[in-house]
Structure 1
Amino acid sequence: MHAERTLVSIIEGFRRSLPMADHARGKRLAVTCQYKCANACLGPECNSSHNETFQEVAAAALSRRALLGLGAAGAVAVAVGGLRGQTPVSGAGSSGVGGAGAAFARPAGGSLPFDPIAPVNRLVDEFTVPAGYTWRPIIRWGDPLFSKAPAFDVNAQTPAAQAVQFGYNSDYLDIVADPSGKTGVLVNNHEYVNPEIMFPPTTDAAELQRRGDIYKAAQGMSVVEITRRRTGEPWSYVVDGKRNRRITVETVFELTGPAAGSDLVKTAADPEGRWVHGTLGNCAGGTTPWGTILSGEENFNGYFAWAADTAAQKRYQSSSSTSTSTGWDKYDPRFDAHNADYVNEPNRFGYIVEIDPQDPTSTPRKHTAMGRFKHEGANVIVAEDGRVVAYMGDDERNDYLYKFVSKNRISGSRKKNLQLLSEGDLYVAKFSGNSPANQITGTGALPADGKFDGSGTWIPLTRNGESVVPGFTTEQVLVYTRLAADAVGATKMDRPEDVEPSPKTGKVYLALTNNSARSVASIDEANPITGNRYGHVVELTETAGQAGTTFGWSILLLCGDPAVFGNSYFAGFPKELVSPISCPDNVAFDSAGNLWISTDGAPSTIGYNDGLFLVPLEGAERGHVQQFLSVPREAETCGPVIHDKDGLVFVAVQHPGEGGTFAAPTSLFPDYGSTAAGAVATAPRPSVVQVYRA
């Protein structure tokens, strides 16, 4: 029966996928664009600033060189071929991919040798792992966190049940073990919902409002206790764990930092401008050295009927909207930004959220000092002088890379450390290349020096907690951060998503998912591909310390399938030996310092399911991309956690089967038939999955 269902879903899914394959210029299905980012890629760009590009700077420099009689060598573009045919593959292996299937010789300290899997066709509804490994979910959408919660029943969902069950569309993930190694907590973001595969169609207003309240309860975050018999074994979650908690769209948050209490964040319901109900669009995140969890509020604008009347509003959503996919604006006035009483409500979202997973009674906070934009996440490292530095990407095409440096230094007092992100200085990145402009052709062909690289500057937006942007107050810098970054001439990047410092070297790795709108006129050495379909990864080296204001950079990966994109680049590693990879999203590190990359968009760009990939950063294997796992059909790979010394890898599987409907699902992940409780699986369920030795 499972084989029959799989065949039916493949045929039906293929029929469905054809008209949407090139939606949003090829990265995502239409439903993802609608629910995840409110179709941001279909409208005008939010960033209409005219920041000087590297091309313009270099062109001016070349003009000066010409006056001195100096020439520049041209670059030869390599033609890009058409998409090749693909055969469904679901097993591990294999022929010629990732080093001819040979086991990877891990650097010292690693403990996860594996044969890279072959890429899996986008119509295959399987979770695929290497030979010798197996997988199982730790927790799934709807699993009860408390004994008072009912068992999940897709046909009997209620707001009250969902508020005490595991949330929907898992994204950022961490597994934080207690000192014993036998207990711990799992923390997971729930970014958004997919109504079409959660419920059958309806036009009944009362039922739509009831479902809207379920959506409020399904989003936010979950904290769940986990347990195991001994270290090295897989985990199980604990019902009624003392630290279990759901954070939803109705949970009260405290605003911190200079913008808290300003007129820009006050509403009729909160005249103090200090207390916000809920968190929205929670995408990636980070775990701080003092044990709290950071979560980035990303595509918050899509939750509001939006009045794009001012430059500040248009910078976060380019055009007005009169409805939302959740329907909250129809019955909850705070989600109607056309309403004068709540015109500032969107200004209360788009921050870095901090929660304490050890204390379920604590009030989570939103840190205005870290700026307001579409935060993919934030990742913290302790600088040489003891201050903490958080790196952050603004996930929209042609937006920016930021970092925050705390005012105070980390200490032995957890109470003091909990205040570190409330005060400090915010910076935005400006990149400069070191190659002549005519060598940056837009094709990905390397310049004459054999690599895309250069230097950069962190431009301050605040110093000593005060605005240094002419014409902007401190509150305006922190609430309208995009406009402030425009004003200082930051470099427009190809959708900066996750950005993390290596705990081993301090080098910083920036995933740039793609930017199919990158034009010939706007290419630069840091974003060198016109219509960047596959994305790239940049490696930054701080040159004046982690808290300094200068850095060097180089492109580590130009992603794509080397058989299709001839100018793909893998840090100089032979491209015929790498696994095809597209649309890098989240990054993580193992104990040996290797980079792991999860992807979001491979099905619509290279025809394979998204996955998780290992990339060594040192030695002869540097740049050797190898695929470790593949997620099911139409799913995104999120929140990778690598506990290689424990022999465990964790990922969050988001929106499996998103192209289906309630009546005709295109995925039945993760149960694929009957659940452990004996119920028949009829809907896909976003889940947190662990992978371990068979």
Structure 2
Amino acid sequence: MSVAPRRFLPLLNSHRAGRSAVTCEYRCGNACAHPAPNESDNAYFGDVVKGVLSRRGALKASAVMAATAGGFAALSGTASAGTVPPALAGRGKGRDKGRRTVPGTDYEPVAPNTADAVVIPDGYEQDVVIRWGDPVEWGAPRFDFANQSAAAQAKQFGYNCDFVGLIPQDPLGWRNLMVVNHEYTSETMMFPAGTYDPDNPTEEQVRIGWAAHGLSVVQAIRDPRGGLRVVPSRYNRRITLETEFELRGPAAGSDLLKTSADPTGRTVLGTQNNCAGGVTPWGTVLSGEENFNQYFANAGTVTDPVAAERLRRYGLSGAASRRRWERYDKRWDVAQEPNEPNRFGWVVEIDPNDPNSKPVKHTALGRFKHEAANVKIAKDGRVVVYSGDDERFDYIYKFVSKGRYKKGRSAHARRHNMSLLDDGTLYVARFTGDSPAGEIDGSGTLPADGEFDGRGEWIPLASGDRSFVPGFTAEEVYVFTRLAADKVGATKMDRPEDIEANPVNGRIYAALTNNSDRGAAGKAGVDEANPRVGNRNGHVIEWEEERGDAAATRFSWRILLVCGDPATADTYFGGFPKDQVSPISCPDNVAFDRYGNLWISTDGNNLGSNDGLFSVPVQGPERGHVKQFLTVPVGAEACGPVVTDDLVLVAVQHPGEGGTPADPESHWPDGGDTQPRPSVVAVWKEGRWGRSGRIGVD
């Protein structure tokens, strides 16, 4: 049931970010406290092409792109009711009595709050699906916070859940495979007070950390009363930092990937910092390796200038690592194994349908701090994968396969389609605005044409063994993708995170979480795709590939949301009245419901409230109407999410992480004086006769 919030906070931009110091230290190695790794002289701004565009020329270009995009301008929030597709027509409890509420968003929004609970709308129910330490594999013991072991954790649900993927095993979705990422470990919160010394961890504590990373695969069945239940199954599986992965694609076997333990450069132990991901049309899961840099020690000892620059561009520096893993395995020591960092930062693929299959790292998709990897099938059947590089001033990428998708989820189809990600073309995005540079002043004020919008192009980096970047071999492009993208003048973005295609309108949506360094001294200034100085609250951008074809090399784009407090002048909600929207800050993960509504989970709310999950229609008169569906507990981040007709799944990551085991800030999910435990939560609407109703439908 829903829980009343404790109190409400004023929505002031002066509030510090919602992340705790512990989260910053263990999740990303205090990335924001260090200079952004992109110090390239790539001075390209999206609204400058051979000088400032004339207003007349910009409008002409905008009109041409709108025509090729099939009426992109019709998305405006001021569009007439006649622009609403029949599937989106409906009635509900809109704040204005005469306004229609789009199906999927018909619920009373949750108010901003700081409750130590998952707070949901009235008329909805919730339950925890699985917690850190719950059994996954056969023989897993019950979780015992005071008596953990690496052997137990390797069979139990891992720490700090992030992406959640749900793969139905029958037409009605009663039996499912649920795949969950475990992004990182917070060792100072994982062990009883006084038992963990950050400077001198025991080998067993380190091995528990290795086992708590990776992914969990569980079979989850629908409860007739609502929600999901995890059941013992042959499919249940843990993937950890000691699981063998196969390196595939054009860089596999490269000298840049060889180590003393793997002289072939084709087998890697484990995956780490798995952030967002995606379920493929063929029934596998893609997962992005993100902040891997913080795990490696002694990068500062490297003196070769080329090697040192490659490490620095990926955020590796200093001496000892925070977790001190190098004391127990030399692969975490750059001085001893200089190529080991090159074996992380990839998109990995898991086949949950085959518990005996070896997971794969796909080198053709490039190496960077991958946030997500989501698939769209092009008009000619080629597979397109979108991914963001979650760093200040880094880039948006896509991969287009050479081969074509084979329909079906049989073992044969899965093998064929997985192989498609090993051969194709890797691109990076350049965004060009259609307004004069003088109208993009960094304040968030819209330009004269009423929108931040323009056109873009996909710049090829490599295809197979061919490099398109001067001075780079193809192997170097794949392994040092950031440096290659610097060279070709890609657009520096404000931490591009999850990217996903809308199944209804076909457009692509990307969450840009924030970038407080935008416009700072010595940093890249604003451009129309990143229009706000000191962008602490982030924004959401959408684009349509030329002719609606995901394999196209040109696109038209516009910003859907400039997030933050609706009461401030620097926010924008797709043209929807700002006094009728929920405040939203730091968009992170995205998902869609069957009606094409965008759902956004947040990370690091700057507005004084807990993070949460929000819905927003993307077309018609309700375009930009942001509504908060839930909030997560104190100190937590909302991850996932999954939105089906009658079920919402959210991963609650790092609850209470601002406290200590002796004095936790949160006691969620078990209450009382228990320790907080990252968990996956199911939310459903109670319908008639005890059956679940449809999410957001009256």
TM-score normalized with structure 2 length? 0.86
Q: How do residues 445-524 of structure 1 correspond to structure 2 at under 5 angstroms? A: 445-519=445-519, 522-524=525-527
Question: Partner of 1:337 in structure 2?
Answer: 334
Establish whether residue 571 from structure 1 lines up as the match of residue 564 from structure 2: no
Deviation at 1:43, TM superposition (A): 1.2
- Give the direction of change, closer, same or farther, for the CA distance of 1:388–1:58 in structure 2 (3 Å limit): closer
What amino acid does structure 1 have at the position aligned with 2:435? S
- Cα distance in 1 for partners of 2:515, 2:562 equals 13
Find the counterpart in structure 2 of residue 289 from structure 1: 281
Partners in 2 of 1:625 and 1:205 — Cα distance? Answer: 44
Match of 2:129 among 138, 143, 147: 138
For 2:83, the equivalent position in structure 1 comes to: none
Residue 83 of structure 1 is matched in structure 2 by none
Count of matched residue positions in the alignment of Structure 1 and Structure 2: 627
Residue aligning to 2:551:
547
Return the alpha-carbon distance in structure 1 between the equivalents of residues 277 and 197 of structure 2.
36
User: 2:185 maps to which residue?
Assistant: 193
Q: Match for 1:138: what amino acid?
A: V
Q: Is it true that 1:532 corresponds to 2:527 in the alignment? A: no
Aligned with 1:311 (options 306, 309, 319): 309
Aligned counterparts, 1:161-180, within 5 A: 161-180=152-171
Deviation (angstroms), 1:228: 3.0
Q: Is the 8 A contact 1:101 1:115 kept in 2?
A: no
Q: Is the 8 A contact 1:243 1:359 kept in 2?
A: yes
**Paired position in structure 2 for 1:378:** 373
- Corresponding position: 1:657 with 2:660: no
Q: CA deviation at 1:682?
A: 1.8
Contact 2:198–2:322 (8 Å) recurs in 1: no
Matched residues in 2 for 1:470 and 1:685: separation?
A: 49
Matched, 1:228 2:222: yes
Greater Cα offset, 371-380 or 538-547? 538-547
1:410 and 2:405 matched:
yes
Q: Deviations over 1:563-609 (max 9, x none)?
A: 2x22200000000100000000000000011000000011xx10010
- The whole-number CA distance in structure 2 between the counterparts of 1:584 and 1:420 is 31
Task: Please name the residue that 1:253 is paired with.
Answer: 245
* Cα distance in 2, alignment partners of residues 103 and 215 from structure 1: 55
More moved, 473-482 vs 49-58: 49-58
Please show how residues 345-364 of structure 1 align to structure 2 within 5 Å. 345-364=340-359
Q: Deviations over 1:57-101 (max 9, x none)?
A: 2682369999xxxxxxxxxxxxxxxxxxxxxxxxxxxxxxx9649
Distance in 2, matches of 1:406 and 1:226, equals 32
Structure 1 residues 103, 254: closer, same or farther in 2, change over 3 A? Answer: farther
What residue in structure 2 maps to residue 76 of structure 1?
A: none
Contact 1:103 1:116 in 2 (8 A): no
- Relative to 1, partners in 2 of residues 1:141 and 1:481: Cα closer, same or farther, differing over 3 Å? same
Q: Is contact 2:502-2:508 (8 Å) kept? A: yes
Q: State the identity %.
A: 56
Q: 460-469 or 262-271: which moved more?
A: 460-469
Q: CA RMSD in A?
A: 2.5
Instruction: Give deviations 1:478-522, integer Å, cap 9, x for gaps.
Output: 000000000000000000000111111210001000000001651
Query: Which of 313, 324, 328 is equivalent to 2:325?
Result: 328
* Cα pair distance change 1:347/1:65, threshold 3 Å: same
TM-score (norm 1): 0.87
Given the alignment, which residue of 680, 684, 687 partners 1:692? 684
2:96, 2:619 → 1: CA distance?
Answer: 21
| Cα gap change, 1:56 to 1:113, in 2 (>3 Å) | closer
CA spacing shift, 1:599–1:306, aligned 2, 3 Å = farther
2:392 to 371, 393, 397: 397
Partner of 2:34: 43
User: Which ranges in structure 2 are unaligned for 5 or more consecutive residues?
Assistant: 58-92, 303-307, 408-412, 687-698
Secondary structure at the aligned position of 2:318 is classed as coil
Contact kept, 8 Å, 1:171 with 1:284, in 2: the verdict is: yes
> Which moved further from structure 2: 508-517 or 110-119?
110-119
SS of aligned partner of 2:511: strand
Contact 1:405 1:426 in 2 (8 A): yes
Change in CA separation of 1:102 and 1:661 when aligned onto 2, cut-off 3 Å: farther
- Asked if 2 retains the 8 angstrom alpha-carbon contact of 1:103 and 1:113, the reply is no
Could you tell me how far apart the structure 1 residues matched to 2:130 and 2:393 are?
A: 36
Runs of 5+ consecutive residues of structure 1 not aligned to the other structure: 15-19, 67-97, 674-680
Please state whether the residue corresponding to 1:438 is helix, strand or coil: helix
Query: CA, structure 1 residues 102+28, in 2 after alignment: closer, same or farther (shift >3 Å)?
Result: farther
Query: In structure 1, what is the equivalent of residue 602 of structure 2?
Result: 599
Deviation at 1:415, TM superposition (A): 2.5
Letter in 2 for 1:277: L
**Residue in 2 that maps onto 1:637:** 638
Q: Deviation of residue 120 (structure 1)?
A: 1.1
Confirm whether residue 280 of structure 1 aligns to residue 272 of structure 2: yes
1:667 aligns with 2:666: yes
Q: Are the counterparts in 2 of residues 105 and 113 from structure 1 also a CA contact under 8 Å?
A: no
State the Cα distance separating 1:147 from its structure 2 match. 4.5
The residue that corresponds to 1:387 in the other structure is 382
| Cα contact 1:562–1:580 (8 A) shared by 2 | yes
Give the partner amino acid of 2:127: R
The Cα shift of 1:368 comes to: 0.3
Q: CA offsets per residue over residues 17-58 of structure 1, 9 Å max, x none? A: xxx974xxx463211111111111111220011113327826
Moved more, 286-295 or 194-203: 194-203
Local SS of the residue matching 2:591: strand
- Per-residue CA deviation, residues 412-440 of structure 1 (Å, 9 max, x unaligned), is 43321121111111000001001011110
- Residues 42/102 of structure 1: CA separation in 2 closer, same or farther (3 Å cut): farther
The 1-side partners of 2:49 and 2:514 are apart by 23
**Structure-1 separation of matches of 2:458 and 2:384:** 12
State the SS of the aligned residue for 1:57.
Answer: coil
Q: Secondary structure at the match of 1:562?
A: coil
Aligned-partner SS, 1:522: coil
Q: What is the rounded CA distance, in whole Å, between the counterparts of 2:188 and 2:406 in structure 1?
A: 49
Deviations 1:82-138 (A, max 9, x none): xxxxxxxxxxxxxxxx9649899554xx456311111113xx212100000111110
Q: 1:148 to 1:620 in 2, by over 3 A?
A: same
Corresponding residue number in structure 1 for 2:585: 582
Aligned to 1:17: none
Counterpart Cα distance in 2 of 1:129 and 1:64 = 47
Query: How much does 1:298 deviate?
Result: 0.2
**Counterpart-to-counterpart distance in 2, 1:56 and 1:136:** 48
Cα distance in 2 for residues equivalent to 1:101 and 1:142: 46
For 2:38, the aligned partner's letter is N
Q: What secondary structure does 2:621 align onto?
A: helix
Contact map agreement 1:141 1:165 (CA 8 A) in 2: yes
Residues 573 and 622, structure 1, Cα contact 8 Å, conserved in 2: yes
Does the Cα contact within 8 Å between 1:191 and 1:282 map onto a contact in 2? yes
- What is the one-letter code of the residue matched to 1:600? D
Tell whether the 8 Å contact from 1:58 to 1:437 is kept in structure 2 after alignment: no
- Once the two structures are TM-superposed, the CA of residue 260 in structure 1 deviates from its matched residue by 0.4
Provide the secondary structure at the position in 2 that maps to 1:692.
Answer: strand
For the Cα contact (< 8 Å) 1:103–1:114, is it kept in 2?
no
Q: Give me the whole-angstrom Cα distance separating, in 2, the residues matched to 1:247 and 1:593.
A: 33
Following the alignment from structure 2 to structure 1, what is the Cα–Cα distance between the partners of residues 155 and 111? 39
